[in-house]
């Protein structure tokens, strides 16, 4: 099903596509290939806006597809094939989510759709946001009978380039209209290590054990339990905004204790960024105020600033090769 999703001040009209499968129903717009709603047994569990204009002013990347490179790049530059690649600094001296004119604020082309899936495609020209090569990128949202949302990313480029995509949905399994309940949810992460950041949210290069720290989620605990602990990585970011290793499948389980609603995260990516919406402050669907910590992002990705840490898994795809990655959210 498709319907109008409003019109931008430029006159461009957005479309909202609704798909269904099992107990799930999802709404995705062609503006940013953005996940607008995800209903589980009729309860919408992702934060969002009522129409396209909310997303056009969306500083928090609610539900957005992020690329070519998710997260941060130190000093907005890196080396590739002995060349220095210069990006635009849009967060202090650093580059965040690939910079201005992000994929989240572009119209994607509908490529294919059916009752349970929708696929969008975007062409990114050579030099777009500073990245080399002409890239053709597609994102496919699928709902299957096993109550799973599957997001698949496929891309090919004319030159060696960075491909490191993610979805920036903010989850609240109690329902997006209950922001006060978000941090009561429990998170289980079997990750053994996380990456501490500096004051600019850039990984220091350390890979630190979670043992004995507030970052130990190997046993499920409420997000609120240690978020205000006297621990420097939490102080620097105002809560959790850190990359954890993906150690096994599922790599995370989020549960709402009140409803019993649970979501398992499965990915082929080497990392997952846990972000507790530390600086969110927007008016969302139905006029609901989403203050800080009213949702949690589980962004599957390569480690932030990996392009400047050659010892870590690298998000580089060779010219002509096909990038393919899948993340699943199973309820």
Give the residue from 158, 156, 155 showing the smallest Cα distance to 133: 158
Give me the catalytic one of 168, 176, 242, 309: 168
* Measured distance CA(89)–CA(77) in Å, rounded: 9
Whether the Cβ atoms of residue 227 and residue 183 lie closer than 8 Å to each other? yes
What's the burial of 79, exposed, middle or buried (CB within 10 Å: 0-12/13-18/19+)?
exposed
CB atoms within 10 A of CB 269: 23
Q: What tokens does 161 get?
A: 């380039």
Query: Is 176 designated active site?
Result: no
DSSP annotation string for 265-296:
EEESSSEEEEE--TT--EE-GGG-EE-TTS-E
Strand-pairing partners, residue 95, are 73
Q: Are 170 and 47 in contact (CB under 8 A)?
A: yes
Catalytic residue among 176, 242, 245, 299: 299
Q: How many residues does the chain have?
A: 331
Q: How does strand 83-86 pair with strand 322-330? A: unpaired
Which of 42, 38, 44 lies closest to 19 in space, CA to CA?
Answer: 38
Contact of 150 with 142, CB cutoff 8 Å = yes
On the question of a cis peptide bond just before residue 41, with omega within 30 degrees of 0, the verdict is: no
- β-strands 24-29, 13-21 pairing: antiparallel
Which of 220, 197, 193, 221 has the alpha carbon at shortest distance from 208?
Answer: 193
Can 235 be counted among the known catalytic residues?
no
Tell me the catalytic residues: 168, 299
């Amino acid at each position: 099903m498709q319907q109008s999703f409003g019109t931008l001040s430029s006159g461009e009209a957005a479309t909202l596509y609704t798909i269904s499968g099992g107990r799930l129903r999802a709404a995705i717009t062609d503006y940013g290939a953005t996940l607008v709603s995800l209903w589980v047994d009729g309860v919408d569990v992702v934060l969002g806006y009522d129409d396209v204009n909310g997303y056009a002013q969306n500083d928090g990347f609610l539900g957005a597809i992020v690329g070519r490179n998710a997260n941060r790049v130190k000093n907005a530059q890196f080396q590739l094939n002995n060349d220095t690649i210069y990006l635009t600094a849009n967060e202090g001296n650093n580059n965040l989510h690939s910079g201005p004119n992000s994929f989240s604020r572009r119209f994607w082309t509908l490529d294919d759709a059916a009752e349970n899936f929708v696929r969008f495609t975007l062409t990114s020209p050579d030099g777009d946001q500073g990245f080399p090569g002409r890239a053709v990128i597609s994102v496919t949202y699928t709902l299957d009978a096993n109550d799973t949302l599957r997001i698949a990313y496929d891309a090919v480029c004319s030159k060696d380039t960075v491909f490191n995509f993610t979805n920036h949905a903010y989850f609240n399994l109690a329902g997006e209209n209950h922001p006060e309940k978000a941090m009561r949810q429990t998170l289980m992460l079997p990750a053994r290590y996380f990456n501490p950041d500096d004051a600019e949210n850039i990984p220091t290069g350390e890979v630190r054990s979670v043992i004995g720290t507030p970052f130990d989620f190997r046993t499920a605990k409420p997000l609120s339990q240690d978020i205000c602990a006297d621990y420097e990585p939490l102080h620097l970011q105002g809560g959790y905004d850190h990359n954890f290793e993906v150690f096994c499948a599922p790599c995370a389980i989020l549960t709402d204790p009140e409803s019993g609603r649970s979501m398992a995260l499965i990915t082929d990516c080497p990392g997952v960024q846990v972000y507790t919406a530390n600086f969110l402050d927007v008016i969302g669907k139905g006029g609901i105020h989403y203050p800080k910590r009213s949702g949690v992002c589980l962004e599957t990705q390569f480690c932030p600033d990996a392009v400047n840490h050659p010892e870590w898994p690298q998000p580089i795809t060779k010219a002509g090769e096909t990038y393919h990655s899948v993340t699943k959210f199973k309820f």
